[in-house]
Structure 1
């Protein structure tokens, strides 16, 4: 065999160059086993797991937690690749898999025995194998399509890809240009919807599992109806401020909220405690609780959350980029209490910017004073509507794809719209039928599918027509 101009040529015995006594003698390299690989292939066999031996030098380190992830993957898929070993059953590649199988209690293991390799070739192959793994890169567009497909089939599968959730969310939001706050329906003066009404999306491939319920969120049975037995990863709400009337102070157009306006401080503490006390039991251990509040309601809300055993992680200031209504100064900042049901928030997709999410305790996002072209529609619908982009970012920080987000004071449904936008499940409760109807119409428009009244199986329009006809007949 000769190598000329980078091409490999194979000679027959008759074509081999003949020795020449006058030629310069070149030291011949011994033929390596690589040249004979097709003649002596590696073999597959099953052996007792305790016969395996680790390599003397393990050239690759694994980060903490990788073993647990591999164990979880094997449990989920029941697929195990063979471990590559040499003639003495010393591991060439597959140390972490070996440890995972031992953790799972396996007594035997399939191996691929490369007994044709010399010790030097084993060491060379081990380094080359790991170097090759580092040379590839993701095809972002194809990866995005694959992840989106998995979400449509079964969102729980996404976690088993072992991609960091920050990376997954970045993929899913890349190229996302849907106006977050467009087309908010105008609130009517009355509504034929009533407490006890619940709307969901009908069964269909890939249909979101969002659920909206009209009722009093202080009632544990209402929250239980909304949650439907699901574990809540995040409670995220703009709670009524308790000490602040809406009419004439926050908005000249809207009436006061059904509950929560013009309370004394002790009344506000009791109100917050009762409201959050109905929802908090549904939040998982070390789940997140994010609550919007202004400076006047901060003390009462803090006292209530402490009494419920919620841990204060930090306080975020939301800079609305322009002043709104106020007294001596116009108010430009609102606050978010970031709390945990436990000592910490278990899901951390920020990780100090490791996956590109550089987040701080200052959130800058336009409020109602600078809400763009959709400002009038948003204000017509609700006096304290929050930007969907702001809510989406917060949801991304502390939840995973498919997690349940509960808003017990959803107003016109911005939190549920944000949850839908980032592939989470939104659950919303609203006490005011007028705002509740706006939320149902809004979510239908975003998802582009009709919601179904859970009790009757009717669409929103069919239910309203039926109730209007009944009212007319009764009159």
Structure 2
């Protein structure tokens, strides 16, 4: 057939090519195409007519121009009339959009690629935005009914083995845990190095006694700090110091989610005003059933949402545009319910947060592989949530025992082993 003939590739200056603008592209789409081209180079040519008009491949051309590439590969159509070339341009652009991904196969392929340390590829280098990837891998089209489901059961040993000492830095896959104080700058330096967090989710102690306020169970020790022994001024200073560290070690305009109960609204607001340029919102975690309390039984906790800056911040909600219909009232079953999983987690820590709730926070305000910082690590729910939605957790926890709990939870979830790091060397493997 005369239309099937050998093609000759010619390299030309991209700035001499003309785009017919049959398709429009957003700045984000051009940015992703630029990332793909930068990673892989030209593996297919741009198709042109004999007047240097682009027939197919205009997105690659825009990406090449953005990268400042001097010459690009082209194939010239010289066996069709002008009208046939116009028709072919419409046809080839149309058929390139045909077909649907087999989502199950695509998900498996992408997970394999993203976890392959040899290739080390990013979502954008695969042609996906972070939101698209989250929607594919983690089913982000939120229906709040999901939050009413029981937490997936964790099977943990009856006794947690003690391995951690104060000052230890522990690697847990893509995550890091430091046994140290949230008030000390060196804790953050040792944990993060030159990195900075893209989002903060943390749950400071509430400066109330655990016994009789949080739980009746006697096997929980009081927290090392802020377990009811501080005055209002002391607790405000405690929060201010930790918030200052969180601000310094996170990127500009990152969102900081800080949990607190109603007793200390005053202290957290005062500390927040001193440190953060912007108080974005106040969210309510509705636990669905009442817990401890005297006059009224407590059924909620507060989450203060601050911004480390006043500019644009990551917003994956966009009023439901991306399938995430979120309000500032979060309905997730609390750990005061009578299920085996809740009882297991309450044994680990008196104030465990639901993993699903923390995952949704990460999916709201961060991107795949971003660093999530939590300087009051507790039982490690932030780390467990990060593991399950493709983020990197960086935790500080002052109690060696709770560091052991975090390690045990992660090892049981992943089947992997932790590593203790000293001077960049693994000392326990």
Task: Tell me, yes or no, whether TM beats 0.5.
Answer: yes
Structure 2: distance between partners of 1:331 and 1:345: 35
The Cα of 1:42 is off from its aligned counterpart by: 4.8
Out of 216, 229, 233, the position equivalent to 2:181 is: 216
Out of 135, 138, 141, the position equivalent to 1:170 is: 135
Q: Note the alpha carbon deviations across 1:298-324, whole angstroms, 9 max, x for none.
A: 232222222223422222111111111
Structure 2 match to 1:434: 401
1:55-134 → structure 2 map (5 Å cutoff): 55=20, 58-79=21-42, 81-134=44-97
Work out whether residues 198 and 371 of structure 2, in 8 Å CA contact, stay in contact via their aligned partners in 1: yes
SS in 2 for 1:115: coil
Out of 391, 396, 402, the position equivalent to 1:424 is: 391
Structure 1 match to 2:10: 45
TM-score by length of 2: 0.88
Work out whether residues 276 and 307 of structure 2, in 8 Å CA contact, stay in contact via their aligned partners in 1: no
Structure 1: distance between partners of 2:157 and 2:357: 20
Q: Note the alpha carbon deviations across 1:396-439, whole angstroms, 9 max, x for none.
A: 22222222212111111111111111122222211122222222
Work out whether residues 406 and 426 of structure 1, in 8 Å CA contact, stay in contact via their aligned partners in 2: yes
SS in 2 for 1:335: strand
Structure 2: distance between partners of 1:306 and 1:298: 12
Out of 219, 222, 225, the position equivalent to 1:259 is: 225
SS in 2 for 1:449: coil
User: How many residues are treated as equivalent by the alignment?
Assistant: 414
Q: Note the alpha carbon deviations across 1:261-296, whole angstroms, 9 max, x for none.
A: 333322222110111222321212222211111222
Structure 2: distance between partners of 1:450 and 1:133: 45
Structure 2: distance between partners of 1:178 and 1:376: 12
Structure 2: distance between partners of 1:156 and 1:307: 40
Work out whether residues 32 and 129 of structure 2, in 8 Å CA contact, stay in contact via their aligned partners in 1: no
Change (3 A) 1:59 1:291: same
Structure 2: distance between partners of 1:236 and 1:440: 19
Structure 1 match to 2:428: 458
Structure 1 match to 2:210: 246
Out of 384, 396, 411, the position equivalent to 2:363 is: 396
Out of 132, 135, 141, the position equivalent to 2:104 is: 141
Q: Which runs of 5+ in 1 are unaligned?
A: 1-34, 202-207, 460-475
Over alpha carbons, which structure has the higher Rg? 1
Work out whether residues 215 and 431 of structure 1, in 8 Å CA contact, stay in contact via their aligned partners in 2: yes
> Structure 1 residues 106-115 or 134-143, which shifts more?
106-115
Structure 2 match to 1:195: 166
The Cα of 1:223 is off from its aligned counterpart by: 2.0
Structure 1: distance between partners of 2:377 and 2:310: 26
Change (3 A) 1:458 1:323: same
Structure 1: distance between partners of 2:319 and 2:266: 29
Structure 2: distance between partners of 1:229 and 1:49: 38
